[in-house]
């Protein structure tokens, strides 16, 4: 029988302990993360989101956009929810996020969760679950949200420059999504989130007048559609609320967005570009023809985006607007 010196035994014990600690500290997401610690978490979030939706039909588009804009900066860490301070301008006050609305829905869900399960459910997970719920209640797919994210402590307005812009071409979009570990298929599938929502004129009016020295209007745009938008967005435009729905069934999560793009009626330049580029056109066409395929790929892409940049050293905020 082999004999080991006490120092050797101690060394091996320490190694095993460190390996165990390392495996426990590594960020690990799973769909049952709150099964023991807060089993009613998803029900509380769903009820909060549904109640808000009953009073404001814009809630689904706003919550889904909130998820995208949070995850594209620093990963899905709820940094978008942090308020600015005298010494720091936060993400929510960056130019692309000025129009992000309905933070109160997340605040309401967080307050209820703190009563039910104090210091347990992260703000980042609330956004992820709420985004899934608004898609489902709008007629879209359901998926199991992987949970266990922590909330970040850093939020900088100047980092919002890294959000994909509505003027991007396909090469720029591919590069932007690749930084989050997302491929071309995920890019086209997640763009389908534009099936919900509305855009103000400022995000697409550059396509309507003086587009280039050769074309007054973006030639990729359906001419009848372009004339309709020019009437809605006159020059000068004194109506700050003027704009256009992002597809013809903007309160229903469906594949109409892709049908609109195929018809030359994509509102953003970045939308229409997906049909103009050979790398993405075939995917747009397949989603326009097969809604169930779009739903399947959208759900898978939302899970993949939700895994981007998961942080290990964050916290569970008690108030989603401020760090602990």
For the annotated catalytic residues, the residue numbers are: 69
Alpha helices (H) along the chain? 6-25, 41-55, 59-71, 103-116, 123-137, 170-178, 184-191, 223-232, 256-262, 269-276, 278-289, 291-306
Is residue 85 marked as binding?
no
How far apart CA 45 and CA 52 sit, in angstroms, is 11
**Is 306 annotated for ligand binding?**
no
Please tell me the distance from the alpha carbon of residue 50 to that of residue 170, in angstroms, as a whole number.
35
User: How many other C-beta atoms can be found within 10 angstroms of the C-beta atom of residue 99?
Assistant: 14
> Would the annotation count 266 as a binding residue?
no
Q: Which one, of 136, 122, 132, lies nearest residue 77 by Cα?
A: 122
The string of DSSP letters for 45-83 reads: HHHHHHHHHHH-TTHHHHHHHHHHHHHTTTSSSSGGGPP
77 annotated to bind ligand: yes
Whether 84 and 76 have beta carbons less than 8 Å apart is answered as: no
Structure tokens at 31: 């769909």
| Residue 254 marked as a ligand binder | yes
The continuous run of DSSP H or E covering 244 comes out as strand 243-245
Q: Give phi and psi for 315, each to the nearest 5.
A: -140, 170
200 is in an annotated binding site: no
DSSP type of residue 322: B
> Any binding-site annotation on 249?
yes
Read off the tokens for 103: 């933070």
Nearest to 197 by CA among 56, 48, 65, 27: 65
Residue 7 CA, distance from chain mean position:
52
Q: What are residue 305's phi and psi, to 5 degrees?
A: -65, -40
Instruction: End-to-end CA distance of the chain: give it in Å, rounded.
Output: 55
Annotation: binding site: 70, 75, 77, 79, 91, 164, 194-195, 249, 254
Annotation: binding site for Ca(2+): 70, 75, 77, 79, 91, 195, 249, 254
Annotation: binding site for heme b: 194
Annotation: binding site for substrate: 164
């Amino acid at each position: 029988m082999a004999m080991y010196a006490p120092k050797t035994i101690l060394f091996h014990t320490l190694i095993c302990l460190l390996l165990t600690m390392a495996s426990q500290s590594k960020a690990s997401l799973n769909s049952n993360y709150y099964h023991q610690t807060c089993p009613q978490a998803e029900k509380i979030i769903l009820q909060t989101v549904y109640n808000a939706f009953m009073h404001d039909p814009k809630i689904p588009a706003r919550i889904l956009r909130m998820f995208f804009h949070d995850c594209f900066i620093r990963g899905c860490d709820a940094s978008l929810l942090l308020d600015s301070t005298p010494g720091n301008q936060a993400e929510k006050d960056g130019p692309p996020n000025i129009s992000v609305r309905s933070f109160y829905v997340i605040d309401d869900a967080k307050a209820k969760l703190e009563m039910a399960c104090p210091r347990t459910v992260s703000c980042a997970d609330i956004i992820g679950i709420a985004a899934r719920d608004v898609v489902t209640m709008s007629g879209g797919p359901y998926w199991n949200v992987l949970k266990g994210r922590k909330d970040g402590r850093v939020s900088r307005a100047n980092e919002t420059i890294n959000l994909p812009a509505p003027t991007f071409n396909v090469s720029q979009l591919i590069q932007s999504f690749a930084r989050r570990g997302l491929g071309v298929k995920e890019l086209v599938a997640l763009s389908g989130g534009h099936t919900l929502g509305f855009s103000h004129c400022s995000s697409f009016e550059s396509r309507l007048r003086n587009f280039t020295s050769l074309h007054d209007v973006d030639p990729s745009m359906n001419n009848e559609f372009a004339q309709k938008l020019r009437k809605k967005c006159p020059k000068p435009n004194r109506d700050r609320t003027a704009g256009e729905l992002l597809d013809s069934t903007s309160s229903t999560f469906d594949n109409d967005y892709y049908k609109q793009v195929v018809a030359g009626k994509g509102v953003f330049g970045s939308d229409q570009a997906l049909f103009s580029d050979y790398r993405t056109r075939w995917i747009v066409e397949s989603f326009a023809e097969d809604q169930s395929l779009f739903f399947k790929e959208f759900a898978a892409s939302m899970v993949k985006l939700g895994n981007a940049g998961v942080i290990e050293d964050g916290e569970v905020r008690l108030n989603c607007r401020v760090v602990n």
